[in-house]
């Protein structure tokens, strides 16, 4: 498979600055629109967390979003936008029995909609819970679909289609159809706070390279060894009373 | 030896009522299962109770359960040869028949779980060798072919023991490791996944092997008891003792391993493991699985196997088998469902479920799962298929043998030939 793929010299990555995120869900809604996600689908979502927590570190304060952690007046609140982490060593790629999920050599993990058999093993294997399955066809919000709106192929493989086939798994594509023509993923474009940075890790002068190499950006659940290409800048906080 | 003629012969010889009723019931249940599957194909997997948080359910744990059930027969038939346990020889053909039927039904159980069942061929066109699922399908196919070949050889062996003896022995030596590999690979579907602490333990493969021997032996015991009750099969006392021993030892080992896993998770305070075990332990939402596993499938069968007063009750072996099988099924359900219910992401709002219902949130933090009639229908239909294969096979292979000591309760003189008695004759 790798031999047939055209060599790409980039290595895409995203850095999300949790200092800037206010939990407005604009990225999640923008993602839903540009990718024509049917009702009940969220490729991208914003979790309510305490600052600097990995995704499975401590029990939630509440089942509801926007509820702070702690006891008044010592409350804390942060947000963690989570979509596909585009892992370099992706468990979903390893378990897919038919090589429908594959990693392009610029770091994008994509799904071949024409090959997926719908076994959902990838959903069992993903530690971030970012994959969605099409349980019953496509049902859209009134007003129809917007966004990219046409099929997109990578090396002859269908990796995006606006009207979703029933019975296959899908997820965030890093907006491959936008990135391939030099645009940024739509969540990066739409974030009102500029909390998301997208770029090429192989270019040492790019902003993502600097944030990853010098800015202290971290990966989610890095102990699992999945080596995601999505990084998070920790919340820098100063606690009163401490030096 | 065609199935139809043998079935006819069987009907002519015995009261046709009960067996006809049995087949009618099985066909009705299978038809219901097929109807449910057709409905599921039209509606999509939205017809099931699975959603994005609990994305595997009844199909997958019943699949794992049937894989386990297939163990008993082949391991018993092979042990009879490899370890020279003569008392298990009368069960060889029944055991291998049940193994073949179980593994066939298990493979079919995956089909309704697929979102695109007609693309299943992709597994053979584009196999991904790093996926445990591909290896599992490979070993399932090998195991099925092996069981059928083994059954054929055992059948020939009955008629010409001297000629086929070496082949039977060779197959036994291949069968034992094949069976162990089958259960290990099935365990690795779950056990290798780093994403879910509930699954990610090296104990998974040995645990699957042991629970497979437990449930498989219990199943063969039940089939043999049923065959003795209704089908003129004979189950010598010595064989019963061995079955009892197999069930007892594998049950104790099974509970030991599950318990060791619980202790490991409980002692630590790793949040993702702790929240999983809390779901199962008493007061958790899934504690009924805990009770099913430890009391229904643990204490009760142990009592019927060990306490002298209970042990002497007629049918204690059968009762213990039924409960042990229920316990293993509960273990499989617990393994799969709790692995998914336990939140991967412990922050609100959790994961999207993938379907829209105006009355409820599109997100779940702790997963919920209630199988629907479609899932129950398909699983019952495939279980009926298993029973059909076993019943037809039992008739076609003429497994009804007269016991070595005196005629059995259902010996109606319809023996297809004296040769069939050779099976029983081997015991002594």
Question: Is residue B422 included in any domain, yes or no?
Answer: no
pLDDT of residue A169: 97
Nearest-CB residue to A119 (from B46, B114, B346): B114
Q: Give a yes or no: residue B298 inside a domain.
A: yes
Taking a C-beta distance cutoff of 8 angstroms, is the pair B326, B251 a contact? no
> Does the CB of A41 have a partner CB in chain B at under 8 Å?
yes
* Least confident stretch, A20-34, B57-71, B197-211, B393-407: B393-407
Q: What percent of chain B has pLDDT over 70?
A: 90
For chain A, how many structural domains are there in total? 1
- pLDDT over threshold 70, residue A58: no
Q: Is residue B423, in this structure, part of any structural domain at all?
A: no
Reported as a single tens digit per residue, the pLDDT across B152-174 is 999 999 889 999 999 999 999 99
What integer pLDDT is reported at residue A76 of this predicted model?
86
Task: Flag whether residue A120 sits within 8 Å of chain B, measured between CB atoms.
Answer: yes
Q: Do A133 and B113 touch (CB under 8 A)?
A: no
Tell me what pLDDT residue B403 has.
Answer: 38
- Nearest residue in chain A measured CA to CA from B200: A125
pLDDT at B24 over 50: yes
Q: Which residues of A touch B40 (CB under 8 A)?
A: none
- Put simply, the answer to whether B130 touches A95 (Cβ < 8 Å) is yes
Give the distance from residue B194's alpha carbon to the nearest chain A alpha carbon, in angstroms.
7
Task: Give the pLDDT score at B379.
Answer: 98
pLDDT of residue A71: 85
> Based on the structure, what is the number of domains in chain B?
1
Q: Report the pLDDT value the prediction gives residue B417, as an integer from 0 to 100.
A: 36
Would you say residue A2 has pLDDT above 80? no
Count of beta carbons in the 10 Å neighbourhood of residue B420: 18
* B180/chain A closest Cα distance in angstroms: 22
The number of C-beta contacts closer than 8 angstroms across A and B is 196
Residues on chain A touching B131 (C-beta within 8 angstroms): 94-97, 121
Write down the pLDDT at residue B415: 37
- Looking only at the bridges linking them, the beta strands covering A12-17 and A230-233 are parallel
For B191, the domain range is 3-12+19-402
> Where does the pLDDT of residue B73 fall: very low under 50, low under 70, confident under 90, or very high at 90 and above?
confident
**Confidence class for position A72, pLDDT limits 50, 70, 90:** confident
CB within 8 Å: B348 and A118: no
SS (H, E, C) chain B: CCHHHHHHHHHHHCCHHHHHHHHHHHHHHHHHHHHHHHHHHHHCHHHCCCCCCCCCCHHHHHHHHHHHHHHHHHHHHHHHHHCCCHHHHHHHHHHHHHHHHHHHHHHHHHHHHCCCHHHCCHHHHCCCCCCHHHHHHHHHHHHHHHHHHHHHHHHHHHHCHHHHHHHHHHHHHHHHHHHHHHHHHHHHHHHCCCCCCCCCCCCHHHHHHHHHHHHHHHHHHHHHHHHHHHCCCCCCHHHHHHHHHHHHHHHHHHHHHHHHHHHHHHHCCCHHHHHHHHHHCCCCCCHHHHHHHHHHHHHHHHHHHHCHHHHCCCCHHHHHHHHHHHHHHHHHHHHHHHHHHCCCCCCCCCEECCCCCCCCCCEECCCCCCCCHHHHHHHHHHHHHHHHHHHHHHHHCCCCCCCCCCCCCCCCCCCCCHHHHHHHHHHC
pLDDT reported for residue B194: 94
The answer to the question of residue A1 being in a domain is no
pLDDT of B9 reads 47
Question: Nearest C-alpha of chain A: how many angstroms from B339?
Answer: 9
State the DSSP code for A44. S
What whole-number percentage of chain B has pLDDT above 90? 73
Residue A147 pLDDT grade (very low, low, confident, very high; cuts 50, 70, 90): confident
Cα A151–Cα A154–Cα A159 angle in degrees, nearest 5: 50
Q: Is residue A4 domain-resident? A: no
Here the ipTM equals: 0.91
> For residue A102, what is the nearest residue in chain B, using CA coordinates?
B128
Q: Give residue A158's pLDDT band: very low, low, confident or very high (50, 70, 90).
A: very high
CATH number at residue B150: 1.20.1630.10
Contacts of residue B88, Cβ cutoff 8 Å, sequence gap at least 6: B76, B77, B79, B80, B239, B242
Residue A35 confidence (pLDDT) above 70: yes
Q: Give the pLDDT confidence of B30-62 residue by residue, as tens digits.
A: 999 999 999 999 999 999 999 999 999 999 999
Residue B246 lies in a domain: yes
Cβ distance of A123 and B55 shorter than 8 Å: yes
Contact A56 B133 (CB under 8 A): no
Q: DSSP secondary-structure letter at A214?
A: T
Decide if A95 and B133 are in contact by the 8 Å CB cutoff: yes
Task: For residue A101, list its beta bridge partners.
Answer: A111
Answer whether residue A2 is part of any domain: no
- Is the confidence at residue B97, as pLDDT, over 90? yes
The per-residue pLDDT for range B307-345, each reduced to its tens digit, is: 999 999 989 999 999 999 999 999 999 999 999 999 887
In this predicted model, what pLDDT tens digit does every residue of A91-100 receive, in sequence order?
Answer: 999 999 999 9
Confidence of residue B6 (pLDDT cuts 50, 70, 90): very low
* Whether residue B10 has pLDDT greater than 60: no
Q: What pLDDT band is residue B294 in, cutting at 50, 70 and 90? A: very high
Higher pLDDT, A1 or B366: B366
For residue A130, pLDDT over 50 is answered with yes
**Predicted local confidence at residue A57, as pLDDT:** 54
The A residues from 165 to 194 touching B (CB cutoff 8 Å) are: 165-169
Among A64, A102, A129, the residue to mutate for chain B (most B Cβ within 10 A): A129
Has residue A59 got a pLDDT over 70? no
**Does residue A106 carry a pLDDT above 90?**
yes
- CATH number of the structural domain spanning residue A199: 3.30.70.20
pLDDT bracket for residue A241 (50, 70, 90): low
Note whether A42 and B53 are within 8 A (CB): no
Determine the distance in angstroms separating the CA of B82 from the nearest CA of chain A, rounded to an integer. Answer: 35
Range of the domain at A95: 12-233
Q: In this predicted structure, what is the pLDDT of residue A140?
A: 83
Determine the average pLDDT of the residues in A14-40: 94
User: Are A168 and B45 in contact (CB < 8 Å)?
Assistant: no
Chain B contact for A213 (CB, 8 A cutoff): no
Give the model's pLDDT for residue A55. 57
Whole-number pLDDT of residue A7: 52
Is residue A145 over pLDDT 70?
no
Residue B412 lies in a domain: no
Confidence of residue B245 (pLDDT cuts 50, 70, 90): very high
């Amino acid at each position: 498979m790798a031999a047939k793929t055209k060599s790409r010299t980039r290595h895409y990555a995203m850095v999300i600055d949790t200092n800037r995120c206010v939990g407005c869900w604009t990225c999640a809604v923008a993602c839903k629109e540009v990718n024509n996600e049917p009702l009940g689908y969220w490729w991208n979502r914003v979790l309510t967390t305490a600052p600097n927590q990995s995704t499975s570190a401590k029990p939630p304060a509440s089942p509801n979003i926007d509820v702070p952690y702690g006891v008044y007046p010592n409350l804390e609140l942060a947000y963690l936008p989570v979509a596909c982490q585009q892992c370099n060593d992706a468990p979903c790629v390893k378990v897919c029995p038919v090589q429908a999920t594959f990693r392009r050599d610029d770091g994008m993990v994509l799904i071949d909609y024409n090959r997926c058999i719908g076994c959902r093993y990838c959903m069992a294997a993903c530690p971030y819970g970012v994959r969605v399955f099409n349980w019953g066809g496509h049902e859209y919000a009134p007003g129809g679909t917007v966004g990219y709106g046409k099929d997109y192929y990578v090396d002859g493989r269908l990796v995006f289609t606006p009207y979703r086939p029933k019975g296959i798994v899908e997820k965030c594509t890093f907006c491959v159809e936008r990135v391939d023509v030099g645009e940024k993923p739509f969540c990066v474009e739409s974030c009102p706070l500029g909390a998301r940075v997208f770029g090429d890790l192989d270019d040492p002068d790019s902003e993502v390279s600097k944030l990853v190499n010098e800015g202290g950006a971290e990966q989610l659940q890095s102990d699992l060894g999945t080596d995601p290409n999505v990084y998070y800048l920790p919340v820098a906080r100063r606690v009163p009373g401490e030096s | 030896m065609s199935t139809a003629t043998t079935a006819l012969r069987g009907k002519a010889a015995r009261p046709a009522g009960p067996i006809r009723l049995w087949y009618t019931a099985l066909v009705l249940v299978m038809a219901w299962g097929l109807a449910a599957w057709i409905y599921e194909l039209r509606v999509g997997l939205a017809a099931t109770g699975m959603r994005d948080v609990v994305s595997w359910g009844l199909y997958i744990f019943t699949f794992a359960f049937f894989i386990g059930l297939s163990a008993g027969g082949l391991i018993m038939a092979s042990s009879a040869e490899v370890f020279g346990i003569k008392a298990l020889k009368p069960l060889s053909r029944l055991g291998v028949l049940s193994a073949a039927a179980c593994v066939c039904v298990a493979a079919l159980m995956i089909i309704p779980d697929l979102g695109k069942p007609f693309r299943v061929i992709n597994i053979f066109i584009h196999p991904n060798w790093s996926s445990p699922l591909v290896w599992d399908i490979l070993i399932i196919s090998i195991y099925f072919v092996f069981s059928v070949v083994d059954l054929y050889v055992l059948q020939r062996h009955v008629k010409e023991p001297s000629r086929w003896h070496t082949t039977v022995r060779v197959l036994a030596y291949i069968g034992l490791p094949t069976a162990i590999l089958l259960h290990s690979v099935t365990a690795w579907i779950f056990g290798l996944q780093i994403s879910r602490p509930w699954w990610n333990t090296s104990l998974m493969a040995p645990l699957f092997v042991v629970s497979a021997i437990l449930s498989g032996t219990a199943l063969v015991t039940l089939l043999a008891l049923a065959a003795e009750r209704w089908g003129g099969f004979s189950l010598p006392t010595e064989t019963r003792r061995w079955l009892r021993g197999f069930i007892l030892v594998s049950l104790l080992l099974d509970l030991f391993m599950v318990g060791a896993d619980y202790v490991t998770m409980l002692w630590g305070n790793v949040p993702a493991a702790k929240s999983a075990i809390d779901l199962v332990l008493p007061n958790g939402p899934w504690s009924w699985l805990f009770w099913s596993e430890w009391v229904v499938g643990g204490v009760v069968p142990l009592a019927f196997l060990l306490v002298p007063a209970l042990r002497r009750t007629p049918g204690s072996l059968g009762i213990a088998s039924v409960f042990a099988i229920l316990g293993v099924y509960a273990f499989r359900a617990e393994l799969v469902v709790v692995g998914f219910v336990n939140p991967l992401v412990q922050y609100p709002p959790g994961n999207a479920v993938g379907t829209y219902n105006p009355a409820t949130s599109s997100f779940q933090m702790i997963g919920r799962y209630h199988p629907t009639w479609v899932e129950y229908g398909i699983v019952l239909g495939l279980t009926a298929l298993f029973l059909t294969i076993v019943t037809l096979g039992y008739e076609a292979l003429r497994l009804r043998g007269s016991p070595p000591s005196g005629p059995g309760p259902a010996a109606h003189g319809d023996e297809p030939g004296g040769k069939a008695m050779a099976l029983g004759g081997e015991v002594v």
